[in-house]
């Protein structure tokens, strides 16, 4: 069976609003909103709050756009952004979109090679980076670097953002680009589940889908104090902490600090957050924090995305938060499509283990494994989106990767294949089963084993490597590696540390293997492909002992 939530008048209006032939990103996201309305509350680790209104955001972004234009950035040009959640971030992003240029998100935990791959893959001409991050851009060659904060850049060819937009600098007025609904706002790279990460162009018309999720699933209202704790270097944070709230003109919190349970509790309490969203790992960390006892909260909504919720988090949240956290589902390629929705008209009781049903404007189904037909209710199969009945679907293909695009759709183009498996009950509710690929989801971040393995095998001692997920009580999953050594090398604790550090520095600090197993050989198919499912089974068996 398939489940389609009837396309409402709201969806129709959203499609018209963000699908105008003369669509202007800057106008839709900022300029049309009241100048005095607060767009972002930027919170520092000491809970100092800086309110950024839409009027101030417009003024700052106009100067950012003019400064970038002087560097040669124009409509369609890609601009990398390697920044934390600061007051400058929204203005720089809006400055890029005001020019009709394309934002390339760069997660600040990435190491230099992962950043370089995304910059090269997007064809970026300019990258804007925090002073604490510019060291990852050494050897950037012809790429123009704009440093935010810090002292004078070491390289004479680099620019300092504050100097470019200083009040005493005469900058020309920039007219906001009107490029229509299909112009890209963002190129966001996937985690690379079956190879190198793929670029996903996110068009202006995607705002129809992004805003509907904020309203229909999260139920963010004008009076809410809304906080999505996800990082805008990834899809959930960018789509639903930045783009969706901005387009709706609703206030959003950005925490300019690293994550800690204690700080998260303080922000929830002292800022009076009423609507919260985050990965399951955040809820697990809060649950593990003994200081949570006795706190008072004003939450009326709590939502989770990025990986399936576990029962203990659901039961804990009801008592500790005063509201039961709800599971929701989506991907980089299309945003959130199914949810245990919070909006009054859509809200219903949540069966254990359900990730909800298709949201308005979307139709989801479970296909049989062997053919492109809808599976009977209760049958585990391939989770897919019916594009013919999903007017909010905006993904049309990966950047410069037609073969990879073709793999995502059935031959007739009707079904988008998510790569996940699920079952669907008679009422159309979806129950996540497994990922049909080998992606590892740790603390809400999707990690490709290909990226980790590619780094591990660069070590002189390593002949082969396979990375898989192992169950973890706090993070849901952690990454562990199975390594075959070259002759003459021993699997010592010192080598484990070396390999972990190698992944941290050459890929990403969060994606290193917590455990490394030294093995004589890896399980393989007759054609030589690594059978990671066998390694995952071993990891699960160890986790249950």
- What are the pLDDT digits (tens) for 192-201? 544 578 999 9
Mean per-residue pLDDT for 387-411?
96
Q: What is the domain partition of the chain in residue ranges? A: 440-544
Element (DSSP H or E) covering residue 102: strand 102-105
Element (DSSP H or E) covering residue 335: strand 335-339
pLDDT band of residue 444 (cuts 50, 70, 90) is: confident
* DSSP letter (8 states) at residue 188: E
Cα separation values, 71 from 59, 79, 161, 173, 179, Å? 19, 11, 12, 15, 21
DSSP string, 199-211: EEEEEGGGHHHHH
Residue 40 forms beta bridges with which residues? Answer: 52, 252
Sign of the torsion formed by the C-alpha atoms of 98, 101, 106 and 108:
negative
Q: Of 20, 164, 161, 25, which Cα lies nearest the Cα of 81? A: 161
pLDDT of residue 436: 67
**SS3 state of residue 134:** helix
pLDDT of residue 193: 43
Query: Is 374 a residue whose pLDDT tops 90?
Result: yes
Mean pLDDT, all residues of the chain? 92
As a whole number of angstroms, the distance between CA 56 and CA 331 comes to 32
**Helices (H), ranges, 415-531:** 449-456, 493-506
Q: Of 122, 128, 129, 78, which Cα lies nearest the Cα of 100? A: 78
pLDDT tens column, 473-519: 888 889 999 999 989 999 999 999 999 999 999 999 999 999 999 99
**Helices (H), ranges, 82-176:** 88-98, 112-122, 161-164
Max CA distance (Å), the chain? 69
The answer to whether domain 440-544 has CATH 3.30.300.30 is: yes
Mean per-residue pLDDT for 238-259?
97
Q: How many CB atoms lie within 10 A of CB 225?
A: 19
Side-chain-side CA neighbours of residue 79 (13 Å): 31
Q: Which residue has the higher pLDDT, 504 or 447?
A: 504
pLDDT of residue 132: 96
% pLDDT > 70, the chain: 94
As a whole number of angstroms, the distance between CA 173 and CA 59 comes to 11
Query: Is 102 a residue whose pLDDT tops 90?
Result: yes
């Amino acid at each position: 069976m398939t489940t389609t939530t009837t396309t409402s008048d709201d969806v129709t209006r959203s499609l018209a609003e963000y699908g105008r032939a003369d669509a202007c990103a800057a106008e839709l996201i900022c300029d049309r909103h009241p100048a005095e309305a607060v767009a972002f509350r930027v919170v520092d680790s000491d809970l100092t709050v800086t309110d950024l209104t839409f009027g101030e955001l417009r003024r700052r972004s106009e100067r950012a756009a003019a400064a970038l234009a002087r560097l040669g950035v124009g409509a369609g040009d890609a601009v990398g952004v390697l920044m934390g959640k600061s007051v400058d971030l929204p203005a720089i992003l809006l400055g890029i979109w005001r020019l009709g240029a394309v934002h390339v998100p760069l997660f600040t935990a990435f190491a230099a090679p992962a950043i370089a791959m995304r910059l090269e893959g997007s064809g970026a001409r300019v990258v804007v980076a925090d002073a604490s991050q510019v060291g990852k851009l050494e050897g950037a060659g012809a790429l123009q670097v704009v440093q935010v904060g810090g002292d004078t850049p070491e390289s004479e060819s680099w620019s300092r953002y504050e100097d470019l937009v200083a009040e005493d600098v005469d900058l020309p007025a920039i007219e906001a680009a009107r490029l229509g609904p299909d112009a890209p706002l963002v190129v966001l790279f996937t985690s690379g589940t079956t190879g190198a990460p793929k670029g996903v162009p996110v068009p202006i018309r995607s705002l129809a889908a992004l805003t509907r999720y904020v309203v229909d699933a999260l139920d963010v209202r004008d009076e809410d104090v809304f906080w999505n704790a996800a990082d805008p270097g990834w899809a959930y944070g960018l789509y639903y902490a930045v783009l969706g709230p901005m387009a709706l003109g609703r206030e959003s919190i950005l925490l300019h600090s690293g994550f800690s349970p204690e700080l998260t509790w303080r922000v929830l309490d002292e800022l009076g957050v009423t609507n919260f969203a985050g990965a399951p790992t955040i809820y697990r960390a809060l649950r593990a924090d003994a200081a949570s006892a006795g706190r008072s909260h004003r939450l009326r909504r709590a939502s989770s995305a990025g990986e399936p919720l576990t029962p203990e988090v659901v039961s804990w949240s009801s008592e500790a938060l005063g509201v039961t956290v709800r599971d929701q589902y989506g991907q980089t390629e299309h945003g959130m499509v199914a949810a245990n929705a919070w909006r009054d008209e859509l809200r219903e009781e949540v069966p254990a283990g359900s990730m909800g049903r298709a949201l308005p404007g979307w139709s989801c189904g479970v296909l049989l494994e062997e053919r492109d037909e809808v599976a009977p209710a209760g049958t585990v199969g391939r989770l897919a989106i019916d594009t013919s009945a999903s007017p909010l679907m905006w993904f049309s293909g990966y950047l410069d990767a037609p073969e990879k695009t073709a793999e995502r759709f059935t031959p007739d183009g009707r079904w988008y294949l998510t790569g996940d498996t699920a079952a669907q009950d008679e009422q159309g509710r979806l129950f996540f089963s497994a990922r049909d690929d080998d992606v590892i989801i740790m603390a809400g971040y999707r990690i490709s084993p290909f990226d980790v393995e590619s780094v591990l095998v660069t070590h002189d001692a390593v002949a082969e490597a396979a990375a898989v997920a192992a169950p973890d009580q706090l993070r849901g999953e952690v990454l562990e590696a199975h390594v075959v050594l070259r002759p003459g090398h021993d699997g010592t604790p010192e080598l484990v540390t070396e390999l972990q550090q190698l992944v941290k520095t050459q890929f990403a600090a969060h994606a290193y293997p917590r455990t490394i197993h030294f093995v004589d050989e890896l399980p393989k198919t007759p054609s030589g492909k690594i059978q990671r499912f066998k390694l995952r089974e071993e990891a699960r068996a160890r986790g249950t002992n």
